Amino acid sequence: MSDDSPDDFGFSTLATRSGRHPTQEGEQSEPIFLTSSYTFASAAEAAARFSGEQPGNIYSRFTNPTVRAFEERLAKLERGERCVATSSGMSAILSTFMALLKAGDHIVSSRAIFGTTTVLLNQYMAKFGVETTFVPLADEAAWEAAIQSNTRLLFLESPSNPLTELADISRLAEIAHSAGALLVVDNCFCTPALQQPLVLGADVVIHSATKFLDGQGRCIGGAIVGSEELVGKDVYGFLRTAGPTMSPFNAWVFLKGLETLKLRMDAHCANALALAEWLAQHPRVERVHYPGLADHPQHALACRQQSGFGGIVSFEVKGGKDAAWKVVDAVKMISVTANLGDTKTTVTHPATTTHGRLTPEQRASAGIKDSLLRVAVGLEDFADIQADLARGLGG
Ligand SMILES: *Cc1c(COP(=O)(O)O)cnc(C)c1O
């Protein structure tokens, strides 16, 4: 299973060359293996494969060479021993919980996580006897205070959506480990191009590959990265049994997405920083949330923990909801959608979309004001993004 990528290659070399296993055809680009099952040369070989005596493919719910190529490449980029790919980001999160927890276990989670993850925890994991306590992402004392004798897992995203708050991942890894719990980080916003949670002490990294890993808005997929023991054995064991595996076609799209990941993330970051700086001095803007601005409360942590500040910028418009909606309704190029991690810039009004089902009190305690807009900055020319947002801001 050797490929042509020693671990000491740089990030973009690993992103383009690791996980390649050219066949006898000598192909330069990775092939797509669209096959559900695999054949054996003899009854004895079939028996040896099924017993696990002989490694190799049996069935694509278990293994597929194109999916494996994506898994090997992402494992290298996240500096993990093992990666398993899943059908979506949500099935990556579900598989991690199902594999690593049992009834009676307790989770401490950041409050500021992807909305569907909150639903998964509150409505479904709770149904199977796994309770969750939610805490403010950046409040280390609250994380410590929430730990119980049955706490098995700490869960977070950093930076948070939409306010771009950060958690100190090394510090939370210490808190988790001293309680005998695991730290699981959803690294969707940064990708390994900007932040490598396993290097900072996390035990498991989760991805929605749908976002920046694809980066071009084409396929749904997910992944889990960590140790051979946790991911290669426990999570993989659940996945091959329960079946939320990644399709080979989607794996191929993500594999190609990874080849340009660093270039794209650097470009997202550059456009986002330019946007944040322009908005910060705009007379119609009350406040800008972006870790790359010197006045972000955790700017120093962002400089230490991330190699770039990310592609998400949020800002409060003077004049409340009406003024915010005016900006959304004035755009002619930017896509009005809650999706992110695409080449195309998107804008959303969190209070009436992604966070619309929260009560006004819950929104207030989460810091989601009616005047807040979130921009997932894409790869268009900066001047065009700026001009489009300027329309509704009155120049
Ligand atoms: C989109 C998203 C998910 C869910 O991923 P899907 O691929 O849509 O299932 C999970 N976490 C974060 C942070 C996301 O943005």
Phi-psi region of 217 (alpha: psi -120 to 50; beta: other; left: phi over 0): left
Band (5; pLDDT cuts 50, 70, 90) = low
Domains of the chain, with CATH numbers?
A: 11-259 (3.40.640.10), 261-393 (3.90.1150.10)
CA of 160 to the centre of ligand 1 (A): 13
Alpha carbon nearest to ligand 1 atom 2, residue? 208
Q: Is 114 in the pocket of ligand 1 (CB under 6 A)?
A: yes
> Is 88 close to ligand 1, i.e. is its CB under 6 Å away?
yes
CB 177 within 8 A of CB 171: no
Whether ligand 1 lies within 6 angstroms of the CB of 342 is answered as no
Query: Reduced to 3 states, what is the DSSP secondary structure of residue 189?
Result: coil
Q: Is 78 near ligand 1, meaning CB less than 6 Å away?
A: no
Question: Dihedral sign, CA of 84, 89, 91, 97?
Answer: positive
Residue type, 76: K
User: Which burial class, exposed, middle or buried, applies to 2 when counting CB atoms under 10 A from its CB (0-12, 13-18, 19+)?
Assistant: exposed
What share of the chain in percent tops pLDDT 70?
98
Q: Provide the pLDDT for residue 34.
A: 97
Q: Please, which residues bridge with residue 172 across strands? A: none
**Residue having the nearest C-alpha atom to atom 8 of ligand 1:** 89
| Side-chain-facing half-sphere of 256: CA atoms under 13 Å | 13
* Angle 232-121-373 from CA coordinates, rounded to 5°: 105
Does residue 376 register a pLDDT over 50? yes
Lowest mean pLDDT: which of 182-196, 249-263, 344-358?
Answer: 344-358
Nearest CA to ligand 1 atom 11: 114
pLDDT tier for residue 2 given thresholds of 50, 70 and 90:
very low
* CA atoms of 378 and 340, how far apart (whole Å): 9
For the ranges 62-66, 164-168, 356-360, which has the lowest average pLDDT?
356-360
What is the percent of the chain where pLDDT is above 90? Answer: 93
What would the pLDDT profile of 210-240 be if each residue is shown by its tens digit?
999 999 999 999 999 999 999 999 999 999 9
CA-to-CA dists, residue 14 to 4, 30, 31, 61, 224, angstroms: 9, 14, 18, 26, 18
Q: CB 1: neighbour CB atoms within 10 A?
A: 7
Ligand 1 proximity of 89 Cβ (cutoff 6 Å)? yes
Q: What is the pLDDT of residue 366?
A: 84
Q: Give, for ligand 1, the residue of 93, 161, 205, 210 to mutate: max count of ligand atoms closer than 8 Å to Cβ.
A: 210
Pocket test for ligand 1, best of 88, 93, 116, 346 (most atoms within 8 A of CB): 116
Average pLDDT, the chain: 96
1 pLDDT band, cuts 50/70/90, is very low
3: pLDDT confidence band, cut at 50, 70 and 90? Answer: low
Q: What pLDDT, in 10s, does the model give residues 68-121?
A: 999 999 999 999 999 999 999 999 999 999 999 999 999 999 999 998 999 999
Q: What is the average per-residue pLDDT within 30-43?
A: 97
Residue 346, pLDDT above cutoff 60: yes
8 A C-beta contact, residue 170 and residue 198: no
- Which token pair is 44? 């004895």
222 in contact with ligand 1, CB cutoff 6 A = yes
Residue 357 has pLDDT above 90, yes or no: no
Distance 152 CA to ligand 1 centre (A): 22
Q: Is a pLDDT exceeding 60 seen at residue 392?
A: yes
> Would you say residue 286 has pLDDT above 90?
yes
β partners of residue 288: 315
Number of Cβ within 10 Å of residue 271's Cβ equals 22
Atom number, ligand 1, closest to the C-alpha of residue 189: 13
Calculate mean pLDDT across residues 127-146. Answer: 97
Question: What does pTM read for this prediction?
Answer: 0.96
Binned at pLDDT 50, 70 and 90, residue 365 comes out as: confident
Q: Smallest Cα–Cα separation from 33: which of 54, 64, 74?
A: 64
